[in-house]
Structure 1
Amino acid sequence: MGNELVSLMNMILISMASLLYCYFIAPKLPKGKFRLISFLPVFSLFLVLPLYVSSAFLSSNFAFLVTWLTTFKLVLFSFNLGPLAFDSKLSFPLFASIAFLPTRIKHSKTAKYVQNQKEVGKEPRPKIPLKLPAKVVIFVMLIMGQKYYEIVDPIAKLFMNCATLYFYLDMIMCLSNVFVRSRFGVEVSQSFNEPYLATSLQNFWGRRWNQLVSETLHNVVYQPVRYEVGAPRWMAVVMVFVVSGLMHELLLYYTIRVIPTWEVTWFFVMHGLCLAVEIELKRALGKRWRIHWAVSGPLTMAFLVATAHWLLFPPLLR
């Protein structure tokens, strides 16, 4: 364990030095491809650093926060977009906190996207908020309950896996928001919005599940494919999920270090295709397509849980 912590500290120091390079080189280069090219050595480092620890927990978390999110934030920053691109230059501590922590920042560079998101999956929905302390208690209970997994019904075990993943991600993002807001006074947004109350795939992926990743993928993938390439909306939506699937497959590789089976990628590709069909049907049928949330909610969750049981969890549980 001591060697793992030393390796982790080295990874953090290398990442911080790389971010210092990006912080100071960016003002000297025009936004666009030249700045992006100057960041490529940093992206290469972020890609290999998770391999320096053998702990699945440490490598997967580092890969999610740095290899994926920080890299994508820096890609946006190279074009003067995203959470790192404020109108005035940030102090390095704030720049590093936004780059490395899973925090959603509210400011002018993302206001357009946030405004557009208000219209995504806008449907009548119930509201049963769970506060952070309650989520922490539930998460601890789920972790303690893992020693009873062998005697738990498979369906209950599946729901426990889904809940554990949700509460863990929500907690680290909430704590990151608390730190950034209290330390720097920056306005932040929650990344999760009670995903267990989703009323459709569009509502789940567009408004409720991990909006930090959704927002990042929208800016890095959807907008260029939709508006720069000129692809139809459905294709841009599917491409977002293809990229998301590949990144999740990479995270899984860092976690278990075996040859990919691509099941995780296919999980996201399937959801991208289904979401594209749902969006086009809603546009074609309008309000006639609306189904009461008491019906659509359970159907949505059943589809999510069933496909996760089929494609998402098996590679990890094996």
Structure 2
Amino acid sequence: METELQNLLFVWISVVTAQIYCRYISNLVHVGPKRLFFFLPVILLFLLLPLRLTTISLGGLTAFFVAWLCNFKLLLLACGKGPLAPPPPPSPPLSLPLFVAVASLPIKIGPSTGSAGAKNGGGGGSDGLKSPANYVAKCLLVVSLFPLYQRSDYVHEKVMMMAYSIHMYIGLEVALAAVGAAAGRLIGAAVEPQFDEPYLATSLQDFWGRRWNLMVTSILRPSVYDPVRSASGRFVGRQWASLPAMLATFAVSALMHELIFYYIGRKEPAWVVTGFFLLHGVAVVAEVAAKKALRGTRWRLPTEVSRLLTVGFVVVTGFWLFLPPLLRCDAVAKARRETIAVIECVKGLWSILRFISFNVVSGH
């Protein structure tokens, strides 16, 4: 673990240094191919740096932040778009610390952080996140799954896969929320919402567009969806231009997930994850086309039925196409070991603090 922490320090020093370079290049070079040319070495570097890390908690998140989110933000900046682009006058450009933070992490800047929490389903804290009780309850749910892991040989395969799915979702949500909240408090930025209770989705469009990993959605929309929609409108008409744009967005997301899975497991991709996202892309396109065809009619599924069908489709296809490659990467076992290590570390620190406080109180 000591080597991993040393590599983590090297990776993030390199990331920050490269982002400072990109900030000054963006001030010196106009928007367009020339700016992209100067960004390309950094984009390549950000694809290589996560290979120095092997853990899920440190390496997986770093790969997601740097190889995916940061690279896409730099591509948008080369075109004068995205969260790193200077806001229109009279707003001042991003300061260097803000530029680095927004480039590196799943956050967004804003004058008020309180509004973000209200926007994302209520019950949020003043920093734009959900209430602490929400995250504590989800963490306790993950801890309650550990006895299942210890007796996995005696538990039905589908029950274990459901436990893995819950663990993956909660682990990702809590980790991203913690990173966003810490960064937001340090630099005074509003927290970018990550998840909005995806198990309450009433359609696949609702699940992927408004509830699941919203940082990815906010990056893929301007970088993939909008340009493809604009281009395809010339061929299929404005009414149907969103459909090929959705397929293209899911295809890019599939490729990026394959890359993240490679960072985690270092195994040659079997392209099963790509099949998962392409299947969901086709399903979302069919769903949106059906909504357009039925527009103006009164036919509508009850909310409970649509929610059951949506979550059921995600779970079944996830068991079929998403979880097996994740298990092949040994991701769940790694995450479990790392979670247990963190819990043991916290317990050790708590014991030390209790010992110190006892000695202080007793006067020893």
Q: Which amino acid aligns with 1:314?
A: P
CA offsets 1:47-101 (integer angstroms, 9 cap, x no match)? 1111223435433222111100111111112222222224222222222111111
CA distance 1:85–1:156, shift in 2 (3 Å): same
CA drift at 1:7: 1.8
Q: Distance in 2 between matches of 1:6 and 1:184?
A: 25
CA drift at 1:32: 2.5
Contact 1:158–1:309 (Cα < 8 Å) also in 2: yes
Q: Aligned with 1:188: secondary structure?
A: coil
Out of 278, 281, 292, the position equivalent to 1:283 is: 292
Partner of 1:294: 304
Alignment of 1:59-208 (within 5 A): 59-87=59-87, 88-106=92-110, 131-142=134-145, 145-208=148-211
Q: Aligned with 1:51: secondary structure?
A: helix
CA drift at 1:196: 0.6
CA distance 1:149–1:86, shift in 2 (3 Å): farther
Q: Distance in 1 between matches of 2:302 and 2:85?
A: 41
Which structure: larger Rg? 2
Contact 2:51–2:263 (Cα < 8 Å) also in 1: yes
Task: Give the structure-2-normalised TM-score.
Answer: 0.77
Contact 1:73–1:83 (Cα < 8 Å) also in 2: yes
Matched, 1:260 2:263: no
Q: Which amino acid aligns with 2:81?
A: L
CA distance 1:58–1:175, shift in 2 (3 Å): closer
Matched, 1:249 2:249: no
Partner of 1:47: 47
Deviates more, 1:161-170 or 1:151-160: 151-160
CA drift at 1:229: 5.1
Gaps of 5+ in 1: 108-113, 119-127
Q: Distance in 2 between matches of 1:204 and 1:152?
A: 29
Q: Distance in 2 between matches of 1:152 and 1:172?
A: 28
CA drift at 1:169: 1.7
Q: Distance in 2 between matches of 1:289 and 1:209?
A: 27
Q: Distance in 2 between matches of 1:54 and 1:184?
A: 29
Contact 1:104–1:212 (Cα < 8 Å) also in 2: no
Q: Which amino acid aligns with 1:177?
A: G
Q: Aligned with 1:222: secondary structure?
A: helix
CA offsets 1:22-48 (integer angstroms, 9 cap, x no match)? 111111111222222211000000111
Over aligned residues, Cα RMSD in angstroms?
2.4
Percent of paired sites with the same residue = 39
Task: Tell which has more relative contact order, 1 or 2 (C-alpha 8 A, sep 6+).
Answer: 1
Deviates more, 1:138-147 or 1:215-224: 138-147
Matched, 1:310 2:313: no
CA offsets 1:217-266 (integer angstroms, 9 cap, x no match)? 11110011111454622111000000000000111111111111000011
CA distance 1:105–1:237, shift in 2 (3 Å): farther
Contact 1:84–1:95 (Cα < 8 Å) also in 2: yes
CA distance 1:6–1:187, shift in 2 (3 Å): closer
Partner of 2:3: 3
Matched, 1:238 2:247: yes
Q: Distance in 1 between matches of 2:148 and 2:32?
A: 50
Q: Aligned with 2:292: secondary structure?
A: helix
CA offsets 1:140-161 (integer angstroms, 9 cap, x no match)? 4345653333333222222212
Q: Aligned with 2:253: secondary structure?
A: helix
Q: Aligned with 1:75: secondary structure?
A: helix
Q: Which amino acid aligns with 2:20?
A: L
Q: Distance in 2 between matches of 1:141 and 1:83?
A: 39
CA offsets 1:273-306 (integer angstroms, 9 cap, x no match)? 1100100110111244421111111111111011
Matched, 1:270 2:272: no
Q: Which amino acid aligns with 2:94?
A: L
